Amino acid sequence: MNTYRKNAVMAGVLYFLGTVFGVSGGLIGGEVLTSLISGKPLVGVDMLSLVAANSSRLTWGAFLTFMMGISLVAMTVFLYPVMRKASKELAMGMVLFRGALEGTFYFLSTLGFLALVALGNEYIATGADSAVLQSMGNVLYQFQDRLAPAGTILFLIGTTCLYLSFYRTRLIPRWLSVWGLIGVVLYMAYALLHFFHLDNGIGFYLQMVLAPLEMVVAVWLIVKGFNPSAIAALFAKTE
């Protein structure tokens, strides 16, 4: 019987890499990227001068964001063949929201960061006296700030489909699935607070319930793989 060991390991590796790329991007990306990730937009700064001063770091942050998107989209491809045996609807929801739409969000974010770098370099090249470029930079920064919680909501819908599938199939221990579903609720509260600019600092703690689970599940899939008895039960239902 196919235990889908390769699928579990590949999904775990990609899950792990996606998380590492995301964390590394936040650490390397500099003040502008960090402000967007943390949901604490910069106010009263010369945005394009700041971008130009950190252009290399922001470029690396954009690259790592792009790599994170590729890794997490590919992760859903390896989970889908197993998940669909339990529920095609949940499996497709995972692929759509944690794959296609979340991937699109990371792609748009990457383009936005690179556009900010281009504007910052042009701003400095023209003598830092272009009000038009500064306005464009501010609008693009605000767009990135508004895009972040929208992308988070897409991520959370896909994550709900993922952990509901894990819960129903028992491919991983149910306590991990329950942890994930509780984390989704708290993370969604943060995303809505961020979306309406109501976060007063509690958002960081709301994220911290789900955030470490990403690494735990990644390592579990790499080391343990899928539960063999759960795989057998899925095959028995589909035969």
Kindly write down the DSSP assignment for every residue of 53-104, as one continuous string. HTHHHHHHHHHHHHHHHHHHHHHHHHHHHHHTTT-HHHHHHHIIIIIIIHHH
Average pLDDT of the chain, as a whole number: 93
**What are the CA-CA distances from residue 2 to residues 69, 82, 228, 235 (Å)?**
29, 10, 9, 9
The pLDDT confidence band at residue 3, using thresholds 50, 70 and 90, is confident
Residue 239: is its pLDDT beyond 70? no
- Angle 185-189-192 from CA coordinates, rounded to 5°: 135
116: closest CA among 145, 151, 154, 155? Answer: 145
The pLDDT confidence band at residue 235, using thresholds 50, 70 and 90, is confident
- What is the predicted pLDDT for the residue at 156? 97
Percentage, residues of the chain above pLDDT 70: 97
Average pLDDT for 142-170: 96
- What is the predicted pLDDT for the residue at 72? 96
Block residue for tokens 């929801």: 93
The pLDDT confidence band at residue 217, using thresholds 50, 70 and 90, is very high
- What amino acid is encoded at 160 in this protein? T
Average pLDDT for 19-34: 94
Query: 11: which 2 tokens?
Result: 């999904």
The pLDDT confidence band at residue 1, using thresholds 50, 70 and 90, is low
- What is the predicted pLDDT for the residue at 157? 98
**What are the CA-CA distances from residue 148 to residues 73, 153, 175 (Å)?**
17, 9, 29
